[in-house]
């Protein structure tokens, strides 16, 4: 065997060959990813152009100057991560009040409650528009249930309507959890929790309760409750009949709620429009994420995940 043949098979030659192959594969991988990024960007531009041309928004269902009632739905749990969030609610109101033909707003509520923070933001949004446009009355309509944080929102309307069988009220604040201390003891399991900060393990379900922490939690709940009470009183005014049960966390049927001044009358949103507001045209301004928004968000997420790798900012094959 010649010396040249031996030299061609040395470890250094093999390493160099492997390195060249890996670099070639990395380069091809980058090119493929960039082709996909380019295609995605082209699709996004085309979708945006189509959206601008056809304008699929709900606001153009009627003329902006035609007299109508704006309808906004609040459904399900009041939560920042749900459809019933303060941000989506504010977008709905903004969309409705842009129309010069808007004569009234109906907030149709079917919710068991949720976040007091989100509810307070939504209440404040209603207060803002009531002060800015006093000639446009805001009505709340309770459907199956309008309890706790949901009623917090309703109290921000000029008037509240319900069905006689609706569940209304629950003006209170709740914290719930579980304790597994006895269970762990029976199983012979010891909880090992280390914290920096005396109260960092606040109400840990696997440790015995601490009286001072329970007192602190109760103070917090009472403060939020008082804020809730003050907003209901401000919204309902002299119509509210207050007794020991009003702010106890109980809820009532629509009929009982009317006797207590929690609602003003009985009507569905359609009845309210026809018989009280006396305007037949209703436009739903409830904010809903469009198909384009969903597609754009998902594509944007995909680009964000793959763009660093495509640009060589993340390790590639063989790294």
Tell whether pTM > 0.75: no
Residues in the chain: 319
**β-strand partners of 84:** none
pLDDT 10s digits, 239-272: 999 999 999 999 999 999 999 999 999 999 999 9
- Residue located via tokens 């929102």: 153
According to the model, what pLDDT value does residue 318 have?
A: 33
SS3 for 106? Answer: strand
SS3 225: helix
Task: Give the pLDDT confidence score for residue 210 in this predicted structure.
Answer: 82
Q: What pLDDT was estimated at residue 63?
A: 54
Q: Which residues of the chain are modeled with pLDDT < 50?
A: 1, 5-6, 52-60, 297, 310-319
**pLDDT for 62:** 58
- Round to whole Å and give the CA distance between 220 and 93: 31
Q: Do the bridges between strand 251-253 and strand 159-162 make them parallel or antiparallel, or are there none, so unpaired?
A: unpaired
**What does the pLDDT read at residue 178?**
78
- DSSP secondary structure of 179-219: --HHHHHHHT-------SSTTTTTT-TTS---HHHHHHHHH
Strands 251-253, 167-169: parallel, antiparallel or unpaired by DSSP? Answer: antiparallel
């Amino acid at each position: 065997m010649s010396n040249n043949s031996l030299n061609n098979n040395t470890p250094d030659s093999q390493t160099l060959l492997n390195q060249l192959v890996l670099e070639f594969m990395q380069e091809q991988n980058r090119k493929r990813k960039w082709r996909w990024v380019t295609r995605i960007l082209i699709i996004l531009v085309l979708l945006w152009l189509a959206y601008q041309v056809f304008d699929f928004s709900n606001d153009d269902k009627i003329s902006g100057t035609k007299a109508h009632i704006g309808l906004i739905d609040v459904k399900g749990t009041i939560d920042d991560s749900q459809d019933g969030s303060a941000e989506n609610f504010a977008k709905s109101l903004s969309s409705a009040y842009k129309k010069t033909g808007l004569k009234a707003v109906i907030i149709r509520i079917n919710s068991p409650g949720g976040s007091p923070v989100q509810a307070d933001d939504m209440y404040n949004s209603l207060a803002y528009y009531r002060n800015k446009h006093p000639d446009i009355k805001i009505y709340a309509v309770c459907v199956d249930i309008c309890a706790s944080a949901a009623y917090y929102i309703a109290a921000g309307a000029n008037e509240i309507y319900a069905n006689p069988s609706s569940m209304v009220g629950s003006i209170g604040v709740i914290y719930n959890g579980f304790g597994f201390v006895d269970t762990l003891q029976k199983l012979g399991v010891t909880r090992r929790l280390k914290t920096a900060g005396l109260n960092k393990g606040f109400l840990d379900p696997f440790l015995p309760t601490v009286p001072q922490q329970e007192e602190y939690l109760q103070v917090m709940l009472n403060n939020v409750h008082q804020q809730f009470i003050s907003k209901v009183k401000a919204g309902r005014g002299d119509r509210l009949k207050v007794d020991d049960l009003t702010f106890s966390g109980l809820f009532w049927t629509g009929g009982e709620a009317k006797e207590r001044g929690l609602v003003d009358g009985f009507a569905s949103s359609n009845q309210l429009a026809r018989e009280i507001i006396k305007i037949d045209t209703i436009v739903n301004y409830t904010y809903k994420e469009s198909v384009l928004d969903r597609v754009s968000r998902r594509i944007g997420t995909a680009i964000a995940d793959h763009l660093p790798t495509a640009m060589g900012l993340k390790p590639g094959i063989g790294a």
